[in-house]
Amino acid sequence: MGQYAALGDVAGKRVLVRSDLNVPLDGDRITDDGRIRASVPTIRELSEAGARVVVTAHLGRPKGEPDAAYSLRPVAARLGELLEREVAFAEDTVGESARAVVDGLADGDVAVLENVRFNAGETSKDDAERGAFADQLAGLADAFVSDGFGVVHRKQASVYDVAQRLPHAMGGLVSTEIEVLQRLTRDVQRPYVVVLGGSKVSDKLAVIDNLLGKADTLLIGGGMVFTFLAAEGHEVGKSLLEQDQVETCRDYLRRSRESGVEIVLPTDVVVAPEFKADAPPTTVVVDAIPADQIGLDIGPDSATAFAERIAGATTVFWNGPMGVFEFDAFAGGTRAVAQALTEVDGLSVVGGGDSAAAVRRLGFADDAFGHISTGGGASLEYLEGKELPGITVLED
Ligand code: ADP
Ligand code: MG
């Protein structure tokens, strides 16, 4: 229990654990339980030490009020299967049901509270409103363990404010994530290659600013590539394009030429007339993207070029699928990049919810990579050099 030494002996104590159980669901079927699995060791360790474990987490983006579509009930059931023990479920987060469930816990028992984002106070920008909700959460426990890496970049009640109200400790999952991120920022083993893709373009462009001073090579694919291609003067048809970021991309390309940090863009892309699984794919070179088509993957030549650079690196960080991997016809680039990461002789890190889901969907084993991070946004903000409020608060 070294990890939790700051909490003293946890036996018999009610320990509130903030986990990240934000898994993709299809109805009430969990399509990828990776985050639940990743949360198990901390919960199990506390339970085995005799704590009364009260898990709080969010699912999706409900609007600050109960919404059955975002209930954590199926997630609690899956957690019970993985822990191989009964997991109690509270129908609310801090109400009557939560209090009754927590009161009913014996030493070593585990409960999950309903989606913390059913309460407007959780994500409120108003310190007083957030604080009032954190008071209620803190009232359910004697100590707090922060283990939801996917949310540590958020100043939210169950991540930040609650830590100010209870004796607290960093969970094992979060500390492992931070250790890996440190290896990507301090004394990095070179060559250091970063692969960026996915669809959250404006979110992710910010990280490039910092990486231009750190990485040796940046490989760009996914939805964000089209803003770069537009910055180079190419037509991108109906592809994802952030017009107001074109200038930023042009600036990155200029800085890359000046600094010697290479930004590598694809030379070919796979396009289709529609965003659909069975849309007919065509491979075109990047200066011949038809006006009526959407770019949905990097092309095979680019995939090979990216894979070669990755396999030759000693440190690789990858965030964001290279294409719409959910559709088989547009999964080739993502598969090639994933395969290359498994061949890295050094540290390979996959970050991001969809990127992690992609490698599993494409049949790669988790242990084929050095580390699969549970938090995309949090790891990117760390790499951007930003302070993570949910980490800083634990240091006080
Ligand atoms: P992560 O969760 O790994 O950080 P994102 O959430 O940013 O990644 O992006 C994942 C999504 O990006 C996937 O659902 C994928 O289908 C989508 N995507 C990848 N390439 C494209 C593209 N060319 N056009 C549209 N969407 C894309
Ligand atoms: Mg995502």
Q: CA-based angle 327:330:335, to the nearest 5?
A: 100
What is the predicted pLDDT for the residue at 2?
A: 67
What is the predicted pLDDT for the residue at 129?
A: 98
Q: How many CB atoms lie within 10 A of CB 42?
A: 26
Number of the ligand closest to the Cα of 202: 1
Place 201 in a pLDDT band, splitting at 50, 70 and 90: confident
Alpha carbon 80 to its chain's center:
23
Q: What is the mean pLDDT of the chain?
A: 95
What is the predicted pLDDT for the residue at 314?
A: 98
Q: Ligand 1 in contact with 302 (CB < 6 A)?
A: no
Residue 193 has pLDDT above 60, yes or no: yes
Query: Which of 17, 118, 138, 124 has its CA nearest to residue 73?
Result: 118
Q: Ligand 1 in contact with 332 (CB < 6 A)?
A: no
Which residues have CB less than 5 Å away from ligand 2 (the ion)? Answer: 353-354
Tokens of 133: 């909700």
Q: Ligand 1 in contact with 296 (CB < 6 A)?
A: yes
Place 375 in a pLDDT band, splitting at 50, 70 and 90: confident
Query: Which of 102, 91, 89 has its CA nearest to residue 13?
Result: 102
Residue 358 has pLDDT above 60, yes or no: yes
Give strand pairing partners of 294: 272
Burial of 235 (0-12, 13-18, 19+ CB in 10 A): middle
CA of 197 to the centre of ligand 2 (A): 10
What is the predicted pLDDT for the residue at 205?
A: 87
Query: Which of 81, 77, 113 has its CA nearest to residue 97?
Result: 113
Please give the backbone phi and psi of residue 234, each rounded to the nearest 5 degrees, phi first. Answer: -85, 150
Residue 90 has pLDDT above 80, yes or no: yes
What is the predicted pLDDT for the residue at 396?
A: 74
Residue 188 has pLDDT above 80, yes or no: yes
What would the pLDDT profile of 231-267 be if each residue is shown by its tens digit? 999 999 999 999 999 999 999 999 999 998 999 999 9
Per DSSP, the residues of 188-204 read PPSSEEEEE-SS-HHHH
Q: How far apart are the first and last CA of the chain?
A: 20
What is the predicted pLDDT for the residue at 368?
A: 96
In angstroms, the CA 36 to CA 76 distance is: 9
Q: Ligand 1 in contact with 155 (CB < 6 A)?
A: no
199, 318, 372, 374, best to mutate for ligand 1 pocket (most atoms within 8 Å of CB): 199
For helices 353-361 and 376-383, angle between their N-to-C axes, nearest 10 degrees: 120
Lowest mean pLDDT among 1-10, 99-108, 129-138: 1-10
Please give the backbone phi and psi of residue 196, each rounded to the nearest 5 degrees, phi first. Answer: -125, 140
Instruction: Indicate which residue of 121, 353, 370, 376 is catalytic.
Output: 353
CA of 320 to the centre of ligand 1 (A): 6
Place 308 in a pLDDT band, splitting at 50, 70 and 90: very high
CB of 208 within 8 A of CB of 218? Answer: yes
Q: What is the mean pLDDT of residues 94-98?
A: 98
Q: Ligand 1 in contact with 214 (CB < 6 A)?
A: no
Query: Which of 316, 315, 317, 268 has its CA nearest to residue 296?
Result: 268
Query: Which of 108, 156, 91 has its CA nearest to residue 11?
Result: 108
pTM for the full model? 0.87
Residue 8 has pLDDT above 60, yes or no: yes
List the strands of the sheet with 371-372, edge to edge: 262-264, 217-220, 192-196, 315-319, 347-351, 371-372
CB of 283 within 8 A of CB of 269? Answer: yes
Q: What is the mean pLDDT of residues 328-347?
A: 97
What would the pLDDT profile of 292-306 be if each residue is shown by its tens digit? 999 999 999 999 999
What is the predicted pLDDT for the residue at 1?
A: 54
What is the predicted pLDDT for the residue at 195?
A: 97
CB of 34 within 8 A of CB of 372? Answer: yes
What would the pLDDT profile of 24-46 be if each residue is shown by its tens digit? 899 889 988 989 999 999 999 99
In angstroms, the CA 336 to CA 352 distance is: 17
